[in-house]
Amino acid sequence: MKVKWEPAALMLLVLGLGFWLALGPASRPKFPVREGSTQVQIRVADTRGVLEAWRPSAESGPEETEFRVFMKGGRGDVGSDGGEVEPSRVYSSEEIREMFGERVLEAAVALRGNRLFTMLNITSWVGVVWVGIGLLGQLAFSGRMLLQWFISERRRESIITESFWWFSLFGALMLFSYFVWRQDPVGILGQASGIVIYARNIRLIFKKKRRAREEQRRLEAIASIAVAESLGENTLAPAVASAEPDSASARGQGPAAVVAVGRSADPVGPRAVH
């Protein structure tokens, strides 16, 4: 079987474009953060920003960490001339705790040196588990299309198999859970209707299989009855034939017997004519 390589290459191209748009240089606002610092993405209303955490030295503890807040279009933002619109002031750990709470403070400090958290936009290892669920769901969701494409290429026609709907259902359930955790209304809306549609198609497939099994059992029952009736007729025919009087043979032999008796009773008859 020969599979065309162009669709696979186009998939990789679209995937690379998506990653570049989401994680590339233009994906986030530019702020004059210090080298070696870590940032936590924050959002206030419809404005995005970052909370920068910077330690003066590697031996500095959490209480010695310096924090700055940068908001798009506000304090710390970069103007057209490349300078800050309004310089951002330095906050202490206590001030950040009072403004954002202990959880944000711990997240900002924990992010230091953990590029995985920054890349995945998470703040704890629990988030890694949820991202794993989302990735598995996306793999199942993408795998259904790869499977459908492979089978269609092999048969040289568009084919949707039962496994396509199972992959779709499991993938949609995982992605729905992931988007709920992310509090992403677009993702929730996109998967909610799909879950119902995929489950409905699977139910229709099972109903069709059940009707096919019932029809098969009905045809087998009819065939069994026909075979039983045929065997019964073949068994009864010899018995009926032996029980009936041999009238046919008697009728066939009757005239000959009469003639034979007549001849023996009157042997002189024919000679008397002469």
Confidence of residue 101 (pLDDT cuts 50, 70, 90): confident
* Residue 90 belongs to domain spanning: 29-114
Same domain for 169 and 213, yes or no, is: yes
Domain for residue 241, yes or no?
no
CB under 8 Å to 147, separation ≥6 — which residues? 161, 163, 164, 167
pTM for this predicted structure? 0.56
Instruction: Say how far apart CA 76 and CA 109 lie, in whole Å.
Output: 20
Same domain for 42 and 97, yes or no, is: yes
Same domain for 162 and 199, yes or no, is: yes
Residue 263 amino acid letter: R
Same domain for 131 and 108, yes or no, is: no
Same domain for 140 and 69, yes or no, is: no
Neighbours of 206 (CB within 10 A): 11
Instruction: Say how far apart CA 274 and CA 211 lie, in whole Å.
Output: 91
At 244-269, the pLDDT tens digits run 555 444 444 544 444 444 444 444 44
Domain for residue 248, yes or no?
no
Confidence of residue 68 (pLDDT cuts 50, 70, 90): confident
Domain for residue 5, yes or no?
no
Domain for residue 250, yes or no?
no
- Give the number of domains in the chain: 2
pLDDT score, position 93: 84
At 187-230, the pLDDT tens digits run 898 888 889 999 999 999 999 999 999 999 999 889 888 888 88
Same domain for 230 and 179, yes or no, is: yes
Domain for residue 19, yes or no?
no
Domain for residue 220, yes or no?
yes
pLDDT score, position 161: 86
Among 114, 141, 167, which residue terminates a domain?
Answer: 114
Same domain for 103 and 140, yes or no, is: no
Same domain for 79 and 135, yes or no, is: no
Same domain for 62 and 141, yes or no, is: no
For residue 216 the two structure tokens come to: 């098969």
For residue 45 the two structure tokens come to: 């209303």
Among 114, 138, 156, which residue terminates a domain?
Answer: 114
Q: What is the mean pLDDT of the chain?
A: 75
pLDDT score, position 111: 57
Domain for residue 271, yes or no?
no
What DSSP line would sit under 94-113, residue for residue? HHHHHHH-HHHHHHHHHTTT
Reduce the DSSP state of residue 71 to 3 states and report it. strand
Same domain for 99 and 173, yes or no, is: no
